[in-house]
Amino acid sequence: MSFVIDIVVWLLIDTVLGFFLYSTGCLILKLVTFGQFKIEFKAFTSFKKSKAKKVNLIMLLGLSFYASLIVLIVYLNN
């Protein structure tokens, strides 16, 4: 029973974290291109259904933003 609960919890974390990174990536692309980049911001339910190559690249951009932010904070604290 605990195995099933672990799977459900990790799937929930994966979905929420993925949507958070996707939304961050979309906002960065909109800011960097001054609104010229046309991408439709997917709702949470449609995000879960479509994890295309474009979505994964945007999530990678969001992840790299937070990783660089952490590196910058560590660098400034030293």
Taking 80 as the threshold, does the pLDDT of residue 21 lie above it? yes
CB neighbour list of residue 24: distance below 8 Å, 6 or more residues apart: 61, 62, 65, 66
Written as one letter, the residue type at 57 is L
47, burial (CB in 10 Å: exposed 0-12, middle 13-18, buried 19+):
middle
pLDDT tens column, 37-70: 766 666 655 655 665 666 778 888 888 999 999 9
Query: What is the rounded distance in angstroms from the CA atom of residue 13 to the CA atom of residue 73?
Result: 25
pTM: 0.68
